[in-house]
Chain A
């Protein structure tokens, strides 16, 4: 039977993948053709979604973006044999956007049926875990340390060191917690993996549990991701039934079980200690450190906390060895990162590449420029707490240290592209506004400072004492950066000051409320 793939990824659904799948099924029935429709994850070429693939003797052939109204003509053109059509792109794996990536973490995503454990295993799944079940926990930790893997959630802390801390503590109640709060605008890699290859996350977390000696794990998923929650809950159930989770996994002495918890629309709950509070059913107020969560984490017990991408990188590290992974990348940024090209971009999507690729390559070679066709003016890298970078910095290689040198941050690898119509004073104001909305309220520079920040930027925009207020804004940013407990208040100054410094002309435009400026004189 001919296999047709239509993604079930939320992004694909958002542009009509369900309707396309239904149209294909009914058209096939009408033509009395036997087809099997597999609902796979996304290949990450989101600009082509819904991307329909057909299995042929030469490999999978891609068509997209397909609308339900295109389906009849696809059948007419002979897409079931992979024949040409206006929406055709030839073999999926030969599309340059896909071919020029280095897919380690996303090796299976979009290829397999996300909820088929047989599919998962036939594509290299559970090889890492099977190995880990036979390894000494300390050897797992050593392998992860060798790989050079650093936390993909934003801060880039070496994963091996974190795991070693938990490993070295006396045996007892310990936890693994996965941060799937993915609140940064411009990022969707966690979501794509959870929906497209959920067993990979389950495998990575189970390996972490063996390394650290944990018995129980939680995945904290934001409530904006209902699809991910459903897929994960189903995948966990399937893994339990197949004894890849639960007691005595695959007949060994290791036991581990996993639970999904849903957030409730609070950006701050992505901060790890706030997330722990939230999993405990409390307000997401950031905790003081020390004690670090590795020592006193969830319910006061030692806890390995990592981002989805960090855990999902682990199976291949254990399977192929830490050195294999370390051979990708540059400097102290080893391995690959799933870059997410978003915003005003012609060809948005997920690009997994070794560190060292540049912003320009990502937005030009892959992204193909803006969706509006206008020149790119600014790119915000690393989420709402990341800097806006002007064109002069587009050639800085993606590397934690190189980005830090230019006061920017790689973070979770999201790139939000803006064209030349962007008003950077407005963007700076939004960064402060976002902080007022999402601050947990524990410390004054963040809670009150952000409100004052919005007011000061409003005055600058309205041309009220501009020079004085620009100096005041800078002073406020220093106070927030130095005086905040966590990176919410601590990093909000980055997008703000990057806008002021990189795009000063936007802070010196004529006031849109001229009468206000005049009245102030």
Chain B
């Protein structure tokens, strides 16, 4: 809700408050739900990411003000954690485990397959905006490697064929 200097027709400038964007409203509401407590900042980011898919930069000044912290601090926290995203992502986020247990069962080949079949690289989103793929280190499913997670759903023993079935299922779901 940054103040915007607007030029009037008569040439003078007045400060106007534009209506807050939906993201800013969501940020304010989340801060309030968490009692505007600075120690709940990660929970607030999780909240926003859950609602919006990412944490828009425009929410940072709002959060900073609500929690009585500097914008630099809020920005610093957001950018420290791999889980938080600053830009829009696909409808489904697919996390592929690249840690040692999954390496021993061929996750490198799985990653290559995912990149090739979806036409994007780890960290990227498919052209139709359906799927974002990203690397993670350990999903705690190390006896049933390789593991992937789609949203909150975990999958084990994922070879390229099963990967395609899972992605196919997402596309079918969207078509219905």
A15 to B144, alpha carbons, bound, how many Å?
8
A45-65, CB under 8 A of B: which get 1 and which 0?
011010000000000000000
Q: Are A185 and B102 in contact (CB under 8 A)?
A: yes
Q: Are A47 and B143 in contact (CB under 8 A)?
A: yes
Please tell me if A353 contacts chain B, counting CB pairs below 8 Å: no
Q: Are B140 and A191 in contact (CB under 8 A)?
A: yes
B132-174, CB under 8 A of A: which get 1 and which 0?
0000111111111101010011111100000000000000000
Contact of B42 among A15, A281, A414 (CB under 8 A): A281
Q: Are A371 and B80 in contact (CB under 8 A)?
A: no
Please tell me if A187 contacts chain B, counting CB pairs below 8 Å: yes
CB-defined contacts of B143 to chain A, threshold 8 Å = 11, 46-47, 188, 340-342, 345, 348-350
CB-defined contacts of B157 to chain A, threshold 8 Å = 15
Chain B, residue nearest A299 (CB):
B39
Please tell me if B60 contacts chain A, counting CB pairs below 8 Å: no
CB-defined contacts of B22 to chain A, threshold 8 Å = none
**Do A266 and B156 form a contact, CB below 8 Å, given A49-B144, A427-B100?**
no
A184 to B99, alpha carbons, bound, how many Å?
9
Chain B, residue nearest A18 (CB):
B153
Q: Are A187 and B140 in contact (CB under 8 A)?
A: yes
Please tell me if A186 contacts chain B, counting CB pairs below 8 Å: yes
Stretch from B11-19, B81-89, B115-123 at the A interface? B81-89
B95-107, CB under 8 A of A: which get 1 and which 0?
1010111111100
Q: Are B142 and A186 in contact (CB under 8 A)?
A: yes
Chain B, residue nearest A298 (CB):
B39
A163 to B29, alpha carbons, bound, how many Å?
40
CB-defined contacts of A11 to chain B, threshold 8 Å = 140-141, 143-144, 154, 156
Interface residues on chain B, number (Cβ under 8 Å) = 44
Q: Are B101 and A343 in contact (CB under 8 A)?
A: yes
Please tell me if A115 contacts chain B, counting CB pairs below 8 Å: no
Q: Are A344 and B105 in contact (CB under 8 A)?
A: yes
Please tell me if B77 contacts chain A, counting CB pairs below 8 Å: yes
Nearest chain A CB to B113 CB, angstrom units = 18
Q: Are B104 and A417 in contact (CB under 8 A)?
A: yes
Of listed A10, A185, A341, residue having the most chain B CB within 10 A: A185
A342 to B152, alpha carbons, bound, how many Å?
22
A340 to B143, alpha carbons, bound, how many Å?
8
Please tell me if A224 contacts chain B, counting CB pairs below 8 Å: yes
A335-378, CB under 8 A of B: which get 1 and which 0?
00000111111001110000000000000000000010000000
Please tell me if A263 contacts chain B, counting CB pairs below 8 Å: yes
A392 to B23, alpha carbons, bound, how many Å?
59
A270-287, CB under 8 A of B: which get 1 and which 0?
000000001111111100
A265 to B46, alpha carbons, bound, how many Å?
11
CB-defined contacts of A279 to chain B, threshold 8 Å = 39
A121 to B109, alpha carbons, bound, how many Å?
47
Of listed B84, B97, B99, B140, residue having the most chain A CB within 10 A: B140
Q: Are A343 and B84 in contact (CB under 8 A)?
A: no
Q: Are B142 and A223 in contact (CB under 8 A)?
A: no
Please tell me if B40 contacts chain A, counting CB pairs below 8 Å: yes
Chain B, residue nearest A45 (CB):
B143
CB-defined contacts of A183 to chain B, threshold 8 Å = 137-138
Apart from A186-B142, A283-B77, A341-B143, list 11 A-B contacts with CB within 8 A.
Answer: A11-B143, A13-B153, A14-B154, A185-B99, A226-B152, A262-B42, A265-B82, A266-B80, A349-B143, A384-B99, A384-B100
